Chains A and B, each alone.
Chain A
């Protein structure tokens, strides 16, 4: 069967909706499913490295390198034309031509882990750029670029966050922008995939029903990796990663589920590991995964990556937890031991309180608003410990917010202990312009700590950090429908070292927004 975009769209027109086309893929072979995806804009690297390459968790002397052998992206490992275990060679060099080699080796790729490999490369030099590639079955992957963390005194750092990249909602022009930025690293704040079935998008769509099994989650990751900008962004920079709910299912709590859900969760976690440059940590044994960790970027940044899903209880319980007891103790200890630097929390879901209107209730208690006691405890700990220069970077909301963080958000006398920047999404749908125009001012009036709200754009944030100042540039794209949509800077905020609270750069203060506290 040969499919092309015109035939697919014609069939969609006849059926009245594009989602009538995508179920056809259920009866397709893996090769035909790939052809269908490609006809609607997906691309893949040359086999067997179809899903690209990536690096992650940069430290002063090492990074983790990742790739997966998947000659057919939508085939199960047992269906691939691969041995059960395949040797994969890797090389790290100082130059793009991979001539000045500093490390090399061979690792086995097992079908039990979908022929993925995770190589913890050590012995590298701090603060350096390196290039890497993999070879298997006589083929060589694309070239990846990575960077180690610096050690000692650091005068500047530049990094980005991305979040919420629903595949049906648009193309990844925002990730294309990240790939082209001059960055030290990228943090993904979660909702890397979505679990839903076809959504009726006329751009592109999920190619199967809601995902439940290990096979389903593998296919979904492969579909998302079909966006060339995602692969480009992975190959361009090392990533830190956390997750939110849609890597498994909407609004889930990681604890208390029945056997069918716990099996689904394990499948989702395993597939996530198989497709990410993640370094195992602590004592966890797969398919359980330790996400939370603290990393340093010299003496300039301390980064705490939080996991707000795996250990959380149900929402709105008097003794509920979003961190889990062990992670909460770890975070408090991290605060106690904090060096004199900027303190960054990679936080998948909004920390600051958010009421929808004056006198109204919380908008979403899936975020920290559903865990009031624990939020107060953690932020009080920040206050009493005297931690300064805290910046929390958040995703999930599909809109941009800037908030003052207070231990008690209902008390304007409560001291500001940090700033939260909630970033626009890569593609996932925000509220419409009318909703934003109406509700921006209402949220501003209801939340005295809210400084800024903007919900009419998609994009990512870039941060420039010096010992004196933390700067957030809100990068936005023109159009999610355009894979090469140009990127511009909507506005810029600064936080000065030693002074709690953010302020908007005068040069962009007249940019459009639906709420701005003057």
Chain B
């Protein structure tokens, strides 16, 4: 189960290239993102461009809007019970997978970065994974979103996950063409970390 709400940009206001002030599930920490429809065109990713594709892509993706830096944050409490609950976490029997599709426009170096920080009850960071931003070279200098993922143990004592999605504009211009879609954070039960 994806711990994150609206990691696919499908919920709430959006659908055009215009920035929105509110994003379901996420706190807009800086700037203002756009939740752009794959049918908007005009240089934005379309279903024909490399990316999640088909039903997995849904109708929309995140972009950085018109701000040089746009940052979204989502805090997810780890489940208290069950196979990936606190007891399992404290016994070292839970792993996480952070994944997302990250991209940009043509040969430009605008980008999207996805990170997760696991914290204990007091708010101290215990684990960190950072994905992207994806360079133009990694996209073959074409408009595309490429999949990135990281997997590691959830450290004992972890109680929350802080996921951050940052879009950065390089150089001048108006549009922040860092793109992201299909953001997920999943927990799995596993053996003892040792």
Contacts and interface: CB of A to CB of B under 8 A. Distances in A.
Partners in one complex: yes
A257 B133 CA distance: 11
B157 A118 contact: no
B135 A260 contact: yes
B50 to A, nearest CB: 16
B117 A85 contact: no
Interface stretch (A278-286, A431-439, A445-453): A278-286
Contacts of A107: 124, 126, 157
Interface string A333-377: 000000000000000000000000000000000000000000000
Interface in B48-88: 68-69, 73
Interface stretch (A109-117, A215-223, A401-409): A109-117
B117 A286 contact: yes
A258 interface: yes
Given A84-B153, A285-B115, A280 B125 contact: yes
Interface stretch (B14-22, B164-172, B180-188): B164-172
Nearest to A285: B164
Contacts of B178: 259
A111 to B, nearest CB: 7
A259 B168 contact: yes
A288 B157 contact: no
A250 interface: no
B152 A112 contact: yes
A285 B113 contact: no
Nearest to B90: A108
B124 A120 contact: yes
B117 A258 contact: no
B97 interface: no
A283 B164 CA distance: 11
Given A113-B125, A287-B128, A256 B171 contact: yes
Contacts of A112: 127-129, 152
B156 A259 contact: no
20 contacts: A84-B152, A85-B92, A85-B153, A85-B156, A107-B126, A107-B157, A110-B155, A111-B152, A112-B152, A120-B124, A256-B169, A256-B170, A258-B136, A259-B132, A259-B170, A259-B178, A262-B168, A285-B73, A286-B125, A287-B130
Given A270-B128, A280-B124, 10 more contacts: A107-B126, A108-B155, A111-B152, A112-B128, A256-B169, A256-B171, A262-B113, A262-B168, A263-B132, A280-B125
